[in-house]
Copies of this chain bind each other. A is one copy, B any other.
Amino acid sequence: MGSATIFVWLQLPNVSKSYRTALTITGIVTLIATYHYIRIFNSWVEAFEVLSKDGGDYTVQLTGAPFNDGYRYVDWLLTAPLLLIELILVMKLPQQETVSLSWKLGLASALMVALGYPGEIQEDLSVRWFSWSLSMIPFCYAVFSRAEGLAGATSKQSSPAAASLASAARYLTVLSWCTYPPMYMVKSVGLAGPRATMYEQVCYSIADVMAKAVFGVLIWAIAAEKSAVEESGKQLPK
């Protein structure tokens, strides 16, 4: 995550001015994630004590300090809207459309995270399901409008390479986002205990790297390709 931040920020001077805001936000998203993953790492390490190691098997006991999933939700509350905004910005739509899409999708994705949290910290399965269902309303709205709205924008990109990168970013964002609701449900279908918790954390982490760092590098690739096309267009007399 931190490497993605440094990578996109060091690329700032290499893209046209009009894509620098998108890249700045891309780096902020992965920076916020870096911070929260350090918090998550420390919280995880403090929650368990490794008693012994026998070959590949560890004997671990709870220390009593609870592992805090709240860091993940604060991270998502901040990064989910920003992720949508970086994608909208790199598409370079007309200004009015950029502002209205950013507000609508930004608020929907923040609401999605806020509605999901009360269920995540519950053992009560009915509350988990209720919270999940409420959260799915803004989730579906955000994912569908992105898939549809950006399909139109993709076809208007300045070069075939930019269009294919934009289409890859669209697929990556829809696919990676769609992995979160089933992961959330793992604990709701009665799977519990340390193994379920571990797999949930591993899967959330992989999905986060895909949705933020890999996605961020794609945003940079789109910005770099469009900058190159626009620059060569300026130099050639038409």
A contact set with B: CB distance below 8 Å: 2-3, 6-7, 9-12, 14, 17, 20-21, 24-25, 27-28, 31-32, 35, 50-53, 55-56, 58, 64-66, 78, 118, 121-124
Contact = CB atoms under 8 A, between A and B. Distances in A.
B3 A32 contact: yes
A225 to B, nearest CB: 10
A7 B28 contact: yes
Contacts of A32: 3
B20 A55 contact: no
Determine chain A's interface SS by DSSP, over half rule. helix
A181 to B, nearest CB: 21
Given A56-B121, A56-B122, A6 B21 contact: no
B64 A52 contact: yes
A50 B46 CA distance: 12
A66 to B, nearest CB: 4
A31 B6 contact: yes
B55 A124 contact: yes
B17 A17 contact: no
B25 A7 contact: yes
A28 B53 contact: no
Contacts of A24: 6-7, 10-11
Given A6-B31, A50-B66, A56-B118, 14 more contacts: A2-B35, A6-B24, A6-B28, A7-B24, A7-B28, A10-B20, A10-B24, A11-B21, A14-B17, A14-B20, A51-B64, A56-B121, A56-B122, A58-B66
A16 B65 CA distance: 51
A32 B213 CA distance: 15
A12 B10 contact: yes
A73 to B, nearest CB: 13
Contacts of A52: 64
Contacts of A56: 118, 121-122
A237 to B, nearest CB: 19
